[in-house]
């Protein structure tokens, strides 16, 4: 999807994106109770920026703790990892194959709903019963909103990451946050 198409899609869903951004949480705040309170029956977790640093091969300690809470909240077979990066795909797939109850999904780039459709089919639940935890409002967040899923916008309060991973994360998420701010300013001006 081109940047202009993405912005046009974001404009069509501005209200939902602004509302999602207002409820932003940190990954560390996503307790078992808070995950259950979403009303979801399954969850999709983003890897880069949520479970671990960009380009990392596996989740860090905070990411693994979130996976354990998600398994406790939703149960085995209802926790999915979706990362739209092609880098590290094989290594991540091999790692998550060793984590019982978790499924690593390979899909097109978000906000394309292919990964959400896969999770829905595999979990046996409709999209409106799947929470999507992502640090990208215009990637995972918009995928959830346009597909009727439950968007959970979550960022890390702190993360040990290399300068390159930090730069990639900033170059990916800051423009998305800027678009949401512009949408909010536009909504206030109307």
Q: DSSP alpha helices (H): ranges in 32-162?
A: 32-37, 61-74, 89-96, 114-123, 142-147
pLDDT at residue 187, rounded to an integer: 84
pLDDT band at residue 86, thresholds of 50, 70 and 90?
confident
Q: Considering the domain boundaries, does residue 25 fall inside one? A: yes
Distances, alpha carbon 9 to alpha carbons 4, 15, 39, 121, 165, in Å: 9, 12, 26, 25, 28
pLDDT digits (tens, 9 = 90+) for 88-107: 889 999 999 999 999 999 88
Q: Considering the domain boundaries, does residue 189 fall inside one? A: no
pLDDT at residue 98, rounded to an integer: 97
What would the mean pLDDT of 125-154 be, rounded to a whole number?
97
d(CA 39, CA 20): 15
pLDDT at residue 1, rounded to an integer: 80
CATH number, domain with residue 12 = 3.40.50.1000
d(CA 185, CA 190): 9
Its domain, for residue 89, covers: 3-184
Burial of 47 (0-12, 13-18, 19+ CB in 10 A): buried
d(CA 109, CA 114): 9
Q: Considering the domain boundaries, does residue 190 fall inside one? A: no
Beta bridge partners of 167: none
Q: Domain total for the chain?
A: 1
Residues in Cβ contact with 20 at an 8 Å cutoff, skipping those fewer than 6 apart? 137, 141, 145, 151, 153
For the entire predicted model, the pTM comes to 0.94
Q: Considering the domain boundaries, does residue 167 fall inside one? A: yes
What would the mean pLDDT of 48-68 be, rounded to a whole number?
96
d(CA 115, CA 109): 9
Q: What is the mean pLDDT of the chain?
A: 94
What would the mean pLDDT of 59-81 be, rounded to a whole number?
98
pLDDT band at residue 141, thresholds of 50, 70 and 90?
very high
pLDDT at residue 2, rounded to an integer: 86
pLDDT at residue 190, rounded to an integer: 65
Q: Considering the domain boundaries, does residue 149 fall inside one? A: yes
pLDDT at residue 87, rounded to an integer: 77
């Amino acid at each position: 999807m081109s940047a202009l198409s993405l912005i046009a899609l974001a404009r069509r869903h501005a209200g939902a994106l602004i509302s999602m951004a207002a409820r932003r949480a940190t990954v560390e705040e996503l307790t078992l109770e808070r995950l259950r309170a979403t009303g979801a029956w399954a969850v999709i977790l983003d890897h880069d920026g949520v479970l671990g640093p960009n380009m990392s091969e596996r989740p860090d300690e905070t990411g693994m703790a979130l996976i354990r809470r998600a398994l406790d909240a939703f149960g085995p077979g209802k926790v999915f990892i979706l990362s739209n990066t092609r880098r590290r795909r094989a290594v991540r797939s091999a790692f998550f194959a060793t984590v019982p109850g978790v499924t690593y999904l390979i899909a097109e780039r978000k906000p394309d709903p292919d990964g959400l459709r896969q999770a829905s089919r595999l979990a046996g639940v409709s999209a409106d019963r799947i929470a999507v935890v992502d640090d990208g409002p215009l990637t995972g967040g918009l995928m959830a909103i346009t597909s009727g899923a439950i968007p959970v916008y979550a960022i890390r309060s702190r993360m040990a990451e290399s300068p390159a991973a930090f730069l990639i994360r900033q170059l990916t998420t800051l423009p998305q946050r800027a678009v949401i701010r512009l949408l909010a300013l536009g909504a206030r001006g109307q």
